[in-house]
Structure 1
Amino acid sequence: MKLFSSYNRILLVISFAGLFIIGVLFYKTLAYYLDRQIDDGLVEELMEVQDFTHEKNILPAPSYYKDLVVEYKNIIKVLNKSSFADTVYYNPKKKQLEPARYLKTDISLNDKAYQVLIMYSKAHRNEEIRSICLVIIIPFLFLLLVLFWVNKVLIHKLWAPFRQLLVNIKVFNLNHDQSFEPVSTQIQEFKELSNAIEDLSFKVRSDYKEIKLFTENASHEMLTPLAVINSKLDTMLQSARLGPEESETLSDLYKATSRLTKLNQSLLLLVKIDNNLMMDTEEVAVMDMIKEKQAFFQELIHKRNLRIELHLDPVYLIVSRQLFDILINNLFSNAIRHNYEGGLINIKLTETSLSFSNTGKSGLLKEEMIFERFFKDPASDGTGLGLAILKQICSRQQYQLSYHYENQLHIFKVKFNKN
């Protein structure tokens, strides 16, 4: 949920809760004071009855006016007790049930006890209460809506620099020469935030350039001595003056330096992928690229007597040709290297996915670890970076890379994201 939506929701809940509580209290208070006025009227009516009784020595006739009812009832004795309460009665004048307020008391006349009941209709007073509440609540609700709209406009305007900062942060890219663009604002907090992000972007860009330069220089400088070592070792291995023990030692050194060269190249490739240095895109005919790679690996496939099954649909993707070439190369290399003599490689290409299935020397691999860097089978002589490179390429291209083991086949599947 967005900050503005959350704030407005809390504001609305508090406002309506406050309005409800204040409305109830106002209604109760107003009803209380109106009841007191009615009670005063009932007392005055009772006093008129008592005055009439003292003067005439008889009870006045029962009254049934539009909103007033006066009734008498014989009782055993006078209790000298008066009570006020609410009730509902049938108004014979209006021919309907109405709420009323009544006063019930006892009087004595000619040694006889009578109960006097005086009722006054509250229908008119209830209408007054509703009218007063509407007169107050409707303008208040209108004012609340106006304040809510003004608050929304002000918040939208006040937070505009913050939203612009978010946009500038999202478009900021370390690989581009354009620096972070600060936001001009009069709000002190956003100005400090913009300045802090600008300073941080300069520091990050500077550190990134230094690390990138160091990585590229280190990798480049390592390639030259490694090439020299490989060349010298190759020359020495061809010498006829070496004994069996020396030849074996030099062969081990040659393998180690070759592995170190591959490791250096793989790490440099990962750095380039991580830093989006290979993101030039074009339309690639995937089926043709797979067939080209098959021809490239044909000698290894024939040497190990591997059987290739192809199920290829003509698929075209907008993708980095260089990255996709590395992806297919690593899938082929992985399927050949970890296969056994006379094994099977099944390649399936559809509009939505590319899968490489191959037999292997080992069973199910650890799905949660096979794409981690430097994870490899103990029997493998690889660098442990091939599948990590696959994962990184798929991540940059927003593809889904998965592995599962089925029918004694290791299946690596790349699901395309054509959007």
Structure 2
Amino acid sequence: MKLFSKYNRILILISFLGLIVIGTLFYQMLIFYLNRQLDHDLVEEATEVKEYSTGGKFYSPHEFEDLIVQYHRIKSTRSYSIYGDTLFYNPVKRRNEHARFLRAEMELNGLPYQILVIASKMEKQEQIKNICLIILLPVCLLLIVVLLVNRLLLKKIWDPFGQLLQNITDFNINHEKPYKSVEMPVAEFRQLNQVLVDLSGKVKSDYEEIKLFTENASHEMMTPLAVINSRLDNMLQSNNLDTREGEILAELYRATSKLTRLNQSLLLLVKIDHNLLQEQQEIDLRTLLKEKTLYFQELVQQRNITMELNLSPAVIRANRQLIEVLINNLFSNAIRHNYEKGRIEVYLDAGQLVFANTGHNQALDAAKIFDRFYKDSTSDGTGLGLAILKQICARQYYRLNYDYLNDLHTFTITFKP
């Protein structure tokens, strides 16, 4: 939930609960004062009963007064008064009404009587309801106006902050476009915006320096490595070497070859990370996979590996160089980590590409195999093949999964994001 929405919901909830509590307390206070007023009227009415009950006659209130006085003969009188609420039938209005009563004992015409005076509360209750409506309705309207004004003010304050978040999301160090500054109405937000402007500039500057260093270092390393490989190749072809010298030169040749592959892989990762391979075209994957199968056929035959292909027509739009690297890495990985007389299965349809192969190891750690320089102890690779695979899929918005199914290491690439 967004901060703005959460704040508004809490404010509305507190206001609503506060209105209910205040309204209830206000209503109860009015009822309390109503009862006090009615009790006072009942006392006056009881006084009139005592004063005007003479000559064997009992006092009787006027019909329009909504009062009822009842007399009950008792043996003796006690000095007490009881007040309470009751429900009585009003004979004038012919309906049941809520009322307040007073029960007391007194002597009338020289005889003890218990009198019950009942006063209707209907009119007073209607007055209370009207008072509550007159007071609470404007309060509710005022509350609604305050909430609307508060919402508009907060929206005006927080809209630039939302734009700030959007600019942070859109910022990309690979693009030349700098981070966009936002005009902020609040001092704290202006300070945050300035910090982000300074931080983005420093990050972009540092990134450009690292990028330039990586590219230059990779390119500069290619030339001496090529010279070393060439000289080692010439020395290995010489007839003047004994067995020991030949083994040493072969080890050096393998080491420099691995270093060359590592340098090429790092340079490719730099290009992928910097999004330098953006050109896209229509690619017939089935045709490309058949070409790559022929390309790796010799390596497959040398190790007596069984190749099973199930290729359906599939055309994607992507960078051809990246897709070729992706397929090369899948084939190389499936062959390098396989064993003699192993098996490779390749499945292709319009939605996904699947490479499955047997291998010396059981299930690998799916959370780590795509990390750079991660490899098992038996591997002689650079540890960047699967990392390049992951980066290519991420750049092309493909989903890459690893599973160990039926004793097969299975890599699934789903083309649709």
Q: Report the TM-score range of the alignment, normalised by the length of the smaller protein.
A: over 0.9
3-state SS, counterpart of residue 113 of structure 2: strand
Q: Per-residue deviation at 1:187?
A: 3.1
- In structure 1, what is the Cα distance between the partners aligned to 2:296 and 2:86? 100
- In structure 1, what is the Cα distance between the partners aligned to 2:411 and 2:2? 39
Post-superposition CA distance 1:141-200 (Å, at most 9, x none): 222222222222222122222122222222222111111121124432222222211111
Structure 1 segment 301-320 matched on structure 2, within 5 A: 301-320=300-319
Aligned to 1:291: 290
**Which residue identity does 1:188 align to in structure 2?**
A
Contact 2:52 2:59 in 1 (8 A): no
Aligned to 1:394: 393
**Do residues 17 (structure 1) and 9 (structure 2) align?**
no
Contact 2:49 2:59 in 1 (8 A): no
- In structure 1, what is the Cα distance between the partners aligned to 2:41 and 2:293? 107
Structure 1 segment 259-274 matched on structure 2, within 5 A: 259-274=258-273
Contact 1:353 1:413 in 2 (8 A): yes
- In structure 2, what is the Cα distance between the partners aligned to 1:215 and 1:59? 119
Q: Per-residue deviation at 1:111?
A: 5.0
Aligned to 2:404: 405
| Aligned sequence identity (%) | 52
Aligned to 1:60: 58
Q: 1:322 to 1:20 in 2, by over 3 A?
A: same
Q: 1:342 to 1:299 in 2, by over 3 A?
A: same
Post-superposition CA distance 1:263-284 (Å, at most 9, x none): 1222222233233333443332
Structure 1 segment 24-173 matched on structure 2, within 5 A: 24-53=24-53, 56-58=54-56, 60-61=58-59, 63=61, 65=63, 67-109=66-108, 112-173=111-172
Q: Per-residue deviation at 1:312?
A: 1.6
Contact 1:64 1:70 in 2 (8 A): no
3-state SS, counterpart of residue 345 of structure 1: strand
**Do residues 336 (structure 1) and 325 (structure 2) align?**
no
- In structure 1, what is the Cα distance between the partners aligned to 2:278 and 2:137? 61
Q: Per-residue deviation at 1:75?
A: 2.3
3-state SS, counterpart of residue 218 of structure 1: helix
Q: Per-residue deviation at 1:371?
A: 2.2
- In structure 1, what is the Cα distance between the partners aligned to 2:222 and 2:268? 13
**Do residues 251 (structure 1) and 237 (structure 2) align?**
no
Contact 2:48 2:59 in 1 (8 A): no
Contact 1:185 1:191 in 2 (8 A): yes
- Of the structure 1 ranges 384-393 and 269-278, higher mean CA displacement relative to structure 2 is found in 269-278
3-state SS, counterpart of residue 36 of structure 1: helix
- In structure 2, what is the Cα distance between the partners aligned to 1:368 and 1:317? 28
- In structure 1, what is the Cα distance between the partners aligned to 2:96 and 2:62? 14
Matched length: 416
Contact 1:89 1:97 in 2 (8 A): yes
Q: Per-residue deviation at 1:308?
A: 2.2
3-state SS, counterpart of residue 278 of structure 1: coil
TM-score, with length taken from structure 2 = 0.94
**Which residue identity does 1:11 align to in structure 2?**
L
Contact 2:161 2:184 in 1 (8 A): no
- Of the structure 1 ranges 92-101 and 272-281, higher mean CA displacement relative to structure 2 is found in 272-281
- In structure 1, what is the Cα distance between the partners aligned to 2:291 and 2:57? 122
Q: Per-residue deviation at 1:70?
A: 0.5
Aligned to 1:361: 360
Aligned to 1:377: 376
Contact 1:80 1:105 in 2 (8 A): yes
Contact 1:401 1:412 in 2 (8 A): yes
Post-superposition CA distance 1:100-155 (Å, at most 9, x none): 01111110235532111111111111111112112222222222222222222222
CA root-mean-square deviation:
1.9
- In structure 2, what is the Cα distance between the partners aligned to 1:294 and 1:89? 101
Post-superposition CA distance 1:235-276 (Å, at most 9, x none): 111111111011101111111111111112222222332333
- In structure 2, what is the Cα distance between the partners aligned to 1:141 and 1:311? 71
- In structure 2, what is the Cα distance between the partners aligned to 1:312 and 1:64? 105
Q: Per-residue deviation at 1:22?
A: 0.6
3-state SS, counterpart of residue 76 of structure 2: coil
Q: Per-residue deviation at 1:2?
A: 0.9
3-state SS, counterpart of residue 173 of structure 1: coil
- In structure 2, what is the Cα distance between the partners aligned to 1:323 and 1:58? 119
Q: Per-residue deviation at 1:61?
A: 4.6
Aligned to 1:184: 183
Post-superposition CA distance 1:314-334 (Å, at most 9, x none): 222232322222211111111
Q: 1:242 to 1:47 in 2, by over 3 A?
A: same
Contact 1:349 1:355 in 2 (8 A): yes
Contact 1:63 1:71 in 2 (8 A): no
Contact 1:71 1:118 in 2 (8 A): yes
Aligned to 1:349: 348
- Of the structure 1 ranges 153-162 and 357-366, higher mean CA displacement relative to structure 2 is found in 357-366
Q: Per-residue deviation at 1:27?
A: 0.3
- Of the structure 1 ranges 208-217 and 175-184, higher mean CA displacement relative to structure 2 is found in 175-184
- Of the structure 1 ranges 347-356 and 7-16, higher mean CA displacement relative to structure 2 is found in 347-356
* Structure 1 runs not aligned, ≥5 long: none
* Structure 2 runs not aligned, ≥5 long: none
Q: 1:64 to 1:335 in 2, by over 3 A?
A: farther
**Which residue identity does 1:44 align to in structure 2?**
E
3-state SS, counterpart of residue 353 of structure 2: strand
Q: Per-residue deviation at 1:64?
A: 7.9
- In structure 2, what is the Cα distance between the partners aligned to 1:196 and 1:211? 22
- In structure 1, what is the Cα distance between the partners aligned to 2:282 and 2:265? 26
- Of the structure 1 ranges 390-399 and 6-15, higher mean CA displacement relative to structure 2 is found in 390-399
